[in-house]
Amino acid sequence: MTTAAYLSKYFKRITIIELDDVLNDTLIRRQLGRSGVSQIYQIHILEGEGFVILNELFPHLKDKLLNDYGGRSYSLKDEARLVSNGTLLHKNLTKNLEWFGIDRFTLETVLRKELCSQFGNQIEWKCNARVVQLIVDQSANTVQGVKYRLKENVGSSLLDVYGDFIIDCTGRNTSSIKWLKDNFNLIVPTIQMHFGCGYVTFIGERFKVGDLSLDSKLIICSSPNTPHNNTGCYILPIREIKTNDENSLGILLTIALHCVNSEYAPNDSYENILEWAKENLESEYYTVLKSTKVCSPLIPYRRAIDDRKYVELLDKKWP
């Protein structure tokens, strides 16, 4: 959506193809996730300059997230505990840095509304659809459009869409590399990386543990440090909530148990997660997790191998 907004000044018409019915009111009212995005609970970090660009494209975005959706700014100097290899990363900060907490689903929802409001006549949405093929002109080495199929009608005929710019949001398992090879005999140089990365991610409500040194730290992160330590934990606030429980901190969290080298955390039960945390993480993480109420499914993500694609080496061969 950010790509569509930014490129709107260069293209007359932009088409966004989505696997889910993202413009449906029922979906927008859901609070914590989206079924068509397997990594919806995972932690996603937007660097400071990226947030500056978002605010330039959508001037009212931050105010809406703060006032209508429970977003909040946090101080990395005073409200965070960031550790890598046993070292506190923020201990000697000379300047306070702001961390803005919001979940990906809410950010997507608000961005979509802003996009429709600002660029409604320029951007077309194709929902409940999946791209299955490119429309190409081999002689001109160009992609002119795509063929797609509606999700509810798997056996239906393919539909064509031509556009100045088409954004395919129908999933990370796209066959784009295969399509480029089939249509242009174009082989993207690729190197496989074996790293055994994995997460177990979930949403939780955080409660007090009775230790001010922990209760005052709303952002708590410890990263893996291979090969000596292959596990880590990220506890990040995503939304303020109203509660009558005096022991609640009034915050929803995204919690990610991270590993490399295939030392995966369990995802069959929260009890087993706590046992794993006691054995593999520093004691304060176990303490915080033990006082956290789980509010979502435990979502595993495991990827033993990833591909590094050297698209830049194709130069002018790229269509």
Q: What is the pLDDT of residue 112?
A: 85
In contact, 136 and 25? CB cutoff 8 Å: no
| Residue 207 in domain | yes
**Do the Cβ atoms of 151 and 130 come closer than 8 Å?**
yes
Evaluate whether residue 179 is within a structural domain: no
Task: Tell me how far apart the alpha carbons of residues 278 and 214 are, in angstroms, rounded to a whole number.
Answer: 17
Quick: pLDDT tens for 5-15. 888 888 888 99
Question: What local confidence, expressed as pLDDT, does residue 22 receive?
Answer: 78
Give the range among 102-106, 212-216, 245-249, 260-264 with minimum mean pLDDT: 102-106
Confidence band (pLDDT; 50, 70, 90) for 171? Answer: low
For the segment 234-254, what is each residue's pLDDT rounded down to a tens digit? Answer: 999 998 999 999 999 999 999
More confident residue, 61 or 23: 61
Q: Is residue 244 part of a domain?
A: yes
Tokens describing residue 130: 């999946």
d(CA 122, CA 116) in angstroms, rounded, equals 9
Asked if residue 126 is part of any domain, the answer here is no
- Percentage of the chain modeled with pLDDT above 70: 93
Average pLDDT, integer, range 57-78: 89
Helix axes 61-68, 104-119, angle to 10 degrees: 130
Residue 46 CA to its chain's centroid (Å): 9
Report which of 122, 120, 129 is spatially closest to residue 163, judged by C-alpha positions.
Answer: 122
pLDDT of residue 262: 86
Res. 38: pLDDT tops 70:
no
Residue 174 CB neighbour total at 10 angstroms? 14
Q: Total structural domains in the chain? A: 1
For residue 63, being part of any structural domain is answered with: no
Task: Using the predicted structure, report yes or no on whether residue 54 has a pLDDT greater than 90.
Answer: no
- Residue 273 CA to residue 265 CA, distance in Å, equals 7
Report the mean per-residue pLDDT for the chain.
86
Strands 123-126 and 14-18: parallel
Residue 60 pLDDT more than 80? yes
pTM (2 decimals)?
Answer: 0.82
Identify whether the C-beta of residue 90 lies closer than 8 Å to the C-beta of residue 53: no
**Average pLDDT for residues 288-309, to the nearest whole number?**
90
Residue 206 lies in a domain: yes
Residue 30 has pLDDT above 50, yes or no: no
In a domain, 280, yes or no: yes
Using alpha carbons, select from 95, 67, 83, 32 the residue that is nearest to residue 235. 83
Q: Are 257 and 197 in contact (CB under 8 A)?
A: no
Lowest mean pLDDT among 106-115, 131-140, 158-167, 261-270: 106-115
> Given a cut of 80, is residue 48 above it in pLDDT?
no
Judge whether 278 lies within some domain. Answer: yes
Domain of residue 213: give its range.
Answer: 192-305
- pLDDT confidence of residue 39: 60
